[in-house]
Amino acid sequence: MTVEVELTEKTWWNQYADLEGRIWNYNRFISWVIRRSYLEDMVEVLFRPEGRVLDVGCGDGWVSLLLAQAGMQVEGIDLAEAQIELARSRAQRMGVANVIFRCASTDDLARNTSYDGVVIHATLHHLSRRQQQLLFDQLDALLKPGGRVYMYEPVAAVSPRPLTASALDRGIGIVMKCLRDLSRALRLIDEDIRLAIKDGWTMRSPKESPIVLSELAATLPETLRLCQVKYWHVFSISYANFCMELKPFWQALFSPGTIPFYLLDKLIFRLDIGKHLLSWPMAAIQLEKI
């Protein structure tokens, strides 16, 4: 990675580690509605009995710990010290021993180490195309033959865009803006989040942008095969993140609203509209080492 980008992202994630963790660690109800199916898919794709999995950009460790609880040996790495501290604390509280967390990049991994699987959860879109290429070259060297990579990332819109996609982007965008404006006007949001917003915080870090699938395919080494792209979420994620900004009482009150948003997402993807949205639809991207 270039030093400038690495330090910019590292500084941002260290500064907002706790805040981002509170948003992305959904409450039990929202997690059940939104995450249950794709996390089951992730475990199914990556699972090998006593297999070794690398979690690149592990953050506060919740994905690493899920895979460790499924029975795999997991190594989580992240550039931000604050994130690794949160991950280690969580593992200790949960009593999970088959996971280690290190503040490192893939450059720091020993080349005599090999993995059965790699998970990249909402991390790749923080890297430039050149950085992505370097990462995949490194992972290609670390993966065993037949090893798999499971990525969960926002994906850029595919053109041409139908009018229905434009209407959905605009309509749901207005709904979400009204909800956020109302919650802030009525002081429904968590006080720490309110102060962070006042200081200029948003959910997006300085360098992130959605993955362009055609560019990703061109970036891959010859021995890493793109197996599947499956869209999972779009507007339900926006609504879930909105809920997690709220104070506990209001969060509980608004959480059931994730159900209609999730059902809307399923309909959108079934009708093949989701790939044309500008609202950063989240997709599972699977690779295999051949």
pLDDT of residue 127: 85
What percentage of the chain carries pLDDT values higher than 90?
Answer: 75
pLDDT of residue 4: 46
pLDDT of residue 1: 40
pLDDT at 5 over 70: no
pLDDT at 2 over 90: no
Confidence of residue 129 (pLDDT cuts 50, 70, 90): confident
Is omega for the bond preceding 160 within 30 degrees of 0, making it cis? Answer: yes
- Yes or no: is domain 3-289 CATH 3.40.50.150? yes
CB count, 10 Å around CB of 287? 24
pLDDT of residue 206: 75
Q: Is 272 left (phi over 0), alpha (psi -120 to 50) or beta?
A: left
pLDDT of residue 7: 52
> Residue 185 carries which side chain, given as an amino acid letter?
A
Measured on CA atoms in the order 20, 228, 73, 208, is the torsion positive or negative? negative
Tokens 């560019």 label which residue? 215
pLDDT at 34 over 80: yes
**pLDDT, mean of residues 71-91:** 93
What percentage of the chain carries pLDDT values higher than 70?
Answer: 97
Between 2 and 35, whose confidence is greater?
A: 35
> What are the structure tokens assigned to 207, written together?
């360098």
H/E element, 231: strand 224-233
Give residue-wise pLDDT tens across range 185-200: 999 999 988 888 888 8
Give residue-wise pLDDT tens across range 258-279: 999 999 999 999 999 999 999 9
**pLDDT, mean of residues 17-33:** 88
Q: What global pTM score does this model have?
A: 0.91
pLDDT of residue 6: 54
Give residue-wise pLDDT tens across range 205-239: 777 899 999 999 999 999 999 999 999 999 999 99
**Which of 10-14, 15-19, 194-198, 270-274 is predicted most confidently?**
270-274
Say whether 57 sits in a helix, a strand or coil: coil
pLDDT at 73 over 60: yes
Task: Compute CA distances 44 → 71, 154, 201, 240, whole Å.
Answer: 12, 21, 36, 25
**pLDDT, mean of residues 141-161:** 95
